[in-house]
A and B are shown apart, each in its own frame.
Chain A
Amino acid sequence: MSDPNYLIIIKKVLTGDVNAYSLLVNTYKDLALTLAYNIVLNREDAEEIVQDAFVKAFVSLKTFKGNARFSTWFYRIVVNTSLNKRKLKKLSTITIEEHAAEEIPNDMTDAINQYNNEEQKRFIKAALDSLAEGERICLTMYYLNELSVDEINLLTGFSVSNIKVLLYRGRKHVYNKLQDILKDEMHHLI
């Protein structure tokens, strides 16, 4: 959804057209659920969190100034609601000890495309679930929620340099894990 569009919808909602809010719900629900799921790792809890986040966003919609993107503002509510659910004040801080200068292995997209959509989804999900929390959350925020490194810094409290290393390492680990998964699959087929 482009920036001017959501501003028009917000204006409609604030003038009393509550039904217009369903457009925002439909646009952001899946990515918000993905973000919440990667924090709490429980699907039912994640759905409840996202519903609560939408309600909270509706109630405080008049405080949205429009100087930041709506998605950033809304995802902050999702992150805070997720952390409340886990009874945490913030995500666990990470100390990056090594500089990730290793090469990223060849991407797996050609190898994985040989499988059907269901299996591809299963493999990718398994690879992501095996990641450390910081890597998983940063990858989700950067590649799916399309947040910038600075926005991720605001939402998570991780430093900008940490985020870059987590993204780099996270991708490497996903590719490595997918390599292992696909090798196992080939082994089972043989």
Chain B
Amino acid sequence: MLNDDKFKALMIKGAVEETSQYFTDETMRKIERGFAAKKYQQPLIKHSVKLAFIIAFAVVLSALLAISIFIQPSHLPFNLYITIPPIRIEDFYNVVYFIIIFWLVMFLNHKIANYN
């Protein structure tokens, strides 16, 4: 029922829009400009520097894990301790309210951006 060849011929005859004369050239120019820009773009941080950071991080992490598992604190030649000041209950509530309001505003902003 839908395979109407005469109708298809009619559509091809009258309904196909033709692009302007230099359409292909202009499109290829846009693409080549973008392609050239991407080709010569240097990364912000060199790959070797990134790799060095990752390796250093892994080595330090492994060393700390090894120290904490295999060496008792009493065997260390130095004492390490951290004194945490007491947290007031009001500060605790302020932090919780801040987190709730922050995420509410983020959510609303996301919804408004989608709506727009």
Contact = CB atoms under 8 A, between A and B. Distances in A.
A132 interface: no
Contacts, number: 98
Nearest to A167: B2
A37 B31 contact: no
Main secondary structure, interface of A, reads: helix
Contact of B14 (A50, A51, A123, A171): A123
B27 A55 contact: yes
A29 B19 contact: yes
B contact residues, range: 20 to 34
Contacts of B30: 51, 55
B102 to A, nearest CB: 28
A183 B4 CA distance: 23
A168 B70 CA distance: 79
11 contacts: A18-B35, A25-B27, A26-B24, A55-B30, A55-B34, A109-B10, A117-B13, A120-B13, A121-B13, A143-B12, A171-B4
A107 B6 contact: yes
A49 B16 CA distance: 16
Main secondary structure, interface of B, reads: helix
A25 B24 contact: yes
Interface residues of A, number: 44
Contacts of B18: 30, 33
Nearest to A53: B27
Contacts of A155: none
B111 to A, nearest CB: 14
A43 B11 contact: no
Contacts of B4: 107, 171
Interface string A161-184: 000100110010010000000000
Contacts of B28: 18-19, 21-22, 25
